[in-house]
Amino acid sequence: MRLIPLRPRVVSLLAILAAAALAIWLEPPSALAGEHFEAVPPWLQRHVGNGDGQISEIVLQRARALYMEKVVEGSAKNPCYFAMDATRPSVASSGRVARRFYIICEHDMSFRAISSGYGNGRRLPGANFANGRRCAKNFSNAEGSKLTTGGGYVTAETRTSFKGYYRSHGKSVALVRPFVQFEGEGDTANARERAIGGHSAVLLRGMCLRKRPDSPYANDKGYVPYGRLLNYSSGRSNGCTSWTPEDSKLIVDMIKEQPTTVYIYPESGDIDAVAKAVKAHQKLSSEGLYWNARCLQEIGTPTFWPKEKLEPIIARYRKARPAPPPRPIPICSSG
């Protein structure tokens, strides 16, 4: 497989990272530096590829470089790091949910590929930046776009929020969903303002209020919200990275007091370069570019919508169509 060139700052960093990390790290990750982290070890190389459950080479290269950069800076303190390939489809050719989010722990030679959602986008008058259920065509860092932004992130604090109750096997279950805040830079610098992070792909629909004064979540009148649980693990998000509830718990437990990096492909430059190559009928591999072939065939040409272009469109739409006041949640009709 042809190696795809890294960004210039990454190349220079990798030349010094092994020695720098060895001097800075005092925790277990220091073992990685001693093994010349810039060289992909054979056990990890076996997971490189474009099939389901594999990680494409450029995604791994950039994810590893981002992780080492942040370890040296001191902002990443976890022995594991994460990556996502948002050019891959939601469903694999086998019909199963596709795996496009990666948990990589080089200290114990473990690699895990799991499912993850990408931003669904929106369809507004004069600007259609919505994504289909299988493949992402549109990307943006605009507030209100509900789209994924590729690039580097570092995990920050985890917040939990009560969403309501739902029925499962005849019992009432409280949905308390953790949210992992991401911090970014460059195109991803406004991640906190956009409330971009990671969480489990579950929500409640059809909400109503039910009397339950014994609940710690009851309001001042003793009511709590109830709804129908919806799991959209194989679907789309509002721009965040979303996982199954089981994988979300694993990830949240992993990063407690140990922040790490999340690299999401593609970046704006990748999108623009691929779009240019497609329009010129050039072969991506000959240009040193990558996009999942199945999704590229489906979407045609990808588009990155910079916030400078898209936010004014969204602002005009909001001004012309202000959101109605929230409706009160009705009382449940039974039970």
pLDDT band, residue 334 (cuts 50/70/90): confident
Nearest partner of 234 among 98, 39, 139, judged by Cα: 98
Q: Kindly report the number of other CB atoms within 10 A of residue 332's CB atom.
A: 16
Would you say residue 143 has pLDDT above 70?
Answer: yes
User: Confidence band (pLDDT; 50, 70, 90) for 188?
Assistant: very high
Query: What pLDDT, on the 0 to 100 scale, is given for residue 70?
Result: 97
- Tell me, what amino acid is at 256? K
What is the tens place of the pLDDT at every residue in 149-159?
Answer: 999 999 999 99
What's the pLDDT at 21? 41
pLDDT band at 39 (very low <50, low <70, confident <90, very high): confident
Q: Is the pLDDT of residue 224 over 90?
A: yes
In the predicted model, is pLDDT for residue 51 greater than 80? yes
- Using pLDDT thresholds of 50, 70 and 90, give the confidence band for residue 66: very high
Mean pLDDT for 199-213 is: 95
The predicted model gives 72-85 an average pLDDT of 97
Q: Report which of 161, 164, 233 is spatially closest to residue 200, judged by C-alpha positions.
A: 233
Scanning the chain, the segments in alpha helix (DSSP H) are 8-24, 30-34, 42-45, 57-73, 245-254, 268-279, 293-299, 307-320
Query: Is the model more confident about 206 or about 94?
Result: 206
Residue range 287-304: mean pLDDT, rounded:
96
What are the residues whose beta carbons fall under 8 Å from the beta carbon of 189, sequence distance 6 or more?
none
Has residue 9 got a pLDDT over 80?
no
332 pLDDT exceeds 80? Answer: yes
pLDDT at 326: 87
pLDDT at 18: 38
pLDDT value at residue 323: 85
pTM above 0.75, yes or no: yes
Q: What is the Cα 71 distance to its own chain's centre? A: 20
Residue 259 has pLDDT above 50, yes or no: yes
Residue 257 CA to residue 88 CA, distance in Å, equals 31
Q: What Rg, from alpha-carbon coordinates, does the chain have?
A: 21
Structure tokens at 233: 């693990």
Q: Mean pLDDT lowest for which of 35-39, 40-44, 202-206, 244-248?
A: 35-39
The stretch 302-316 carries a mean pLDDT of: 96
Residue 267 is given by DSSP the state P
